[in-house]
């Protein structure tokens, strides 16, 4: 596992390193400068990013949240004080764990596990949502195609669907693909 530790304080970064010392097969990369951070993280290609911010200003938080939005990886952020607005912004930015006053070597490993599990759960939900949206879009396309066949060939809804189903089976294509082709052809001919 490749872990990027982002902390402008080398002393605080050492606390995180100590908490990860017992993990076998881990490569740790400590980044202490904010300049070019996203490019350096992408170059490393970590499996997880741990960011210790101490007591950051709003601008610094927003800068790190921008990094979080750009990365599709589990990210845990450590801060010294709670801030409701920052917590809400971190959730919107896709931060997997926002830890207040929790930087201690013995807490790092469980927090790492939490961040990975929350990231995976969120990624699974996003995938399911994308799949559901795709199926809904296909259903809409099929309904449009049925309406075209019903209007142009004076078919009932079951007959229109049956025609598309037969064509899909004959051409070894999905009904959604036949529907999309029919709608596209209708749009071209209708103009």
87 and 146 both lie in a single domain: no
Q: Do the domain assignments include residue 124? A: no
Domain enclosing residue 174, as ranges? 129-190
- d(CA 49, CA 120) in angstroms, rounded, equals 14
**CA nearest neighbour of 146 among 163, 167, 134:** 163
- What is the number of other CB atoms lying within 10 angstroms of the CB of residue 176? 19
pLDDT value for 166: 96
38 and 97 both lie in a single domain: yes
pLDDT value for 8: 86
Q: Do the domain assignments include residue 137? A: yes
CATH number reported for the structural domain that contains residue 172 in this entry:
1.10.10.10
pLDDT value for 124: 95
Q: Do the domain assignments include residue 117? A: no
Please answer whether residues 35 and 59 qualify as being in contact, where contact means their C-beta atoms are separated by less than 8 angstroms. Answer: no
pLDDT value for 188: 92
Helix (H) / strand (E) element for 3: namely: strand 2-6
Q: What is the total count of domains within the chain? A: 2
47-63 burial: b if 16+ Cβ within 10 Å, else e: ebbbbbbeebeeeebee
Tokens found for residue 23: 């993990």
98 and 161 both lie in a single domain: no
CATH number reported for the structural domain that contains residue 70 in this entry:
3.40.50.2300
pLDDT value for 22: 79
30 and 78 both lie in a single domain: yes
> pLDDT tens digits for the chain (191 residues)?
899 998 888 888 888 888 888 788 889 999 988 888 888 998 999 999 998 887 777 777 777 788 788 888 898 888 888 778 888 888 888 888 888 886 788 888 888 899 999 999 999 999 999 999 999 999 999 999 999 999 999 999 999 999 999 999 999 999 999 999 999 999 999 86
pLDDT value for 119: 92
19 and 71 both lie in a single domain: yes
7 and 90 both lie in a single domain: yes
134 and 75 both lie in a single domain: no
pLDDT value for 90: 83
Q: Do the domain assignments include residue 40? A: yes
6 and 99 both lie in a single domain: yes
Q: Do the domain assignments include residue 81? A: yes
pLDDT value for 47: 92
20 and 61 both lie in a single domain: yes
Q: Do the domain assignments include residue 145? A: yes
pLDDT value for 51: 86
Q: Do the domain assignments include residue 108? A: no
Q: Do the domain assignments include residue 50? A: yes
């Amino acid at each position: 596992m490749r872990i990027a530790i982002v902390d402008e304080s080398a002393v605080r970064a050492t606390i995180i390193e100590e908490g990860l010392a017992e993990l076998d097969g881990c490569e740790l990369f400590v980044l202490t400068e904010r300049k070019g951070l996203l490019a350096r993280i992408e170059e490393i290609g970590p499996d997880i990013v741990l960011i210790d911010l101490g007591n950051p200003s709003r601008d610094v938080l927003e800068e790190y949240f921008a990094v979080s939005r750009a990365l599709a990886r589990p990210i845990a952020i450590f801060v010294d004080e709670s801030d409701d607005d920052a917590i809400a912004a971190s959730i919107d930015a896709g931060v997997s764990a926002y830890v207040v006053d929790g930087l201690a070597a013995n807490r790092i490993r469980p927090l790492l596990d939490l961040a990975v599990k929350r990231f995976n759960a969120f990624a699974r939900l996003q995938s399911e949502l994308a799949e559901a949206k795709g199926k809904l879009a296909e259903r809409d396309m099929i309904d449009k195609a049925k309406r075209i066949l019903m209007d142009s060939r004076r078919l009932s809804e079951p007959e229109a669907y049956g025609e598309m189903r037969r064509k899909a089976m004959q051409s070894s294509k999905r009904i959604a693909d036949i529907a999309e082709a029919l709608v596209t052809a209708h749009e071209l001919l209708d103009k």
